[in-house]
Amino acid sequence: MAEQLQKDSVLRYPIDDIRLSTDFNKKWGLMGYSSPFSGLMIDWRRNIGIRFGQNKENTSLKVPPNIKKLGNQLIQSGSKVSCLLLWLVLSEGIVGQPIDSLQLDGPRRLRTVIATEVLLYTGTMVALDQLWYRDYPRQSFHSFNDNGQWLQMDKVGHAMTTYYVGLLGMDSYRWAGMDEKRSRYWGGATGWLFLSTVEIFDGFSEEWGFSWGDFGANTMGAAMLIGQDAAWGEQRITFKFSFRESPYAQLRPGTLGDGWHEEVLKDYNGQTYWLSANVKSFLQEESKFPDWLSLAVGYGVDQQVVGEGVYIRQTDDGFRRLAGVRQFYLAPEVDLWRIQTESKVLRTVFRTIGFIKLPLPALVLQNGKLRSQGFRF
């Protein structure tokens, strides 16, 4: 038996090994909303790009070489959704926070928001088409089942990304003067539509397929945003993310990342997704409980070297069997978004990094055993 097993061999090697749909993630996702826009449409049948006006020829947009090079570097570092989500983080802090400084009236603000979202949405879809999907054969629309892969870490990432894209959209619409009800649903639809478009792209690619699991996770992320705003008029429970390097990436650097900058996007063993509940918002208004102190529950995995199945590794003592296990966390959290400050710089910094779960002590449940951990991500 030992002679038949080669070093670092894999049992039940995952079909979807190349695709890592984590939405750390996997996406930070890019904000965008495809409102009805005459003269601009995605050609779903051939999925080659976009067409303008009445031009009946399918004309793919040319991506500038420097932009294409940057996009390739990002995509090679992680999954397509991871790179989009990374872009969202930057947009959330840089675009979403201090646009109040623009001295525009209501209608002009709304036109600015819609135009920005259309451009970002279009640019992102073109970039995905040119930098990712064009290297894989196209086929008719189809679906596939990846619900058993990566212990559903990628699904949590999809929900988180949809949530944050929708939140950014909702905030932008309200800045533009849209009423609370319409901005709530338009914002939620922004995140949902953006991620669902990526799923449709997958559905036309021979390499992947439309994932109902991903689609469901996208819907849950949008529902979490819309439901809280409808019930409470605020987001009392938010997604958070943390990462630390794991020892497993070196076993499969092509899949799990080679170096910190790739592993943060690709190695699920180092990622933890959190739901952070702001305690003060659930108490009476006269409560003296700190506004910025929250309680967070987290979810992560360990020993998840392949999407599904068992990874067999040869060691000096023989062969080691690695099978993924789930981890659950409970920890306090500092909500940077609720810290009051007069500094515009600090507000922008807090807004930009507010999605990150700060390294605080936590309780960890793994394999039915409870333990504590110190200050670490």
pLDDT tens digits along 152-210: 999 999 999 999 999 999 999 999 999 999 999 999 999 999 999 999 999 999 888 99
Residue 173 neighbours by CB distance under 10 Å:
25
Going by the DSSP 8-state scheme, the letter that residue 364 receives in this structure is E
Query: Which of the two residues, 22 and 116, has the higher pLDDT score?
Result: 116
* Sign for the pseudo-dihedral over CA of 315, 369, 10, 307: negative
Q: Say which amino acid occupies 222.
A: A
The pLDDT of residue 32 is: 29
Task: Compute φ and ψ for 346, nearest 5 degrees.
Answer: -65, -40
Percentage of the chain lying above the pLDDT 90 cut: 52
DSSP string of 234-259, one letter each residue:
S-SEEEEEEE---TTGGGSHHHH-SS
pLDDT reading at 60 higher than 60: no
> Cα–Cα distance between 113 and 117 in angstroms, integer?
6
Q: What is the pTM of this model?
A: 0.75
- Name the residue among 333, 360, 340 with its Cα closest to residue 275: 333
> Cα–Cα distance between 277 and 263 in angstroms, integer?
28
pLDDT reading at 70 higher than 90: no
pLDDT reading at 356 higher than 90: yes
pLDDT tens digits along 278-321: 999 999 989 999 999 999 999 999 999 999 888 988 777 777 88
Please answer whether residues 88 and 165 qualify as being in contact, where contact means their C-beta atoms are separated by less than 8 angstroms: yes
pLDDT tens digits along 16-41: 322 222 332 233 332 222 222 222 22
> Cα–Cα distance between 294 and 278 in angstroms, integer?
4
Mean pLDDT of the chain: 77
> Cα–Cα distance between 356 and 377 in angstroms, integer?
9
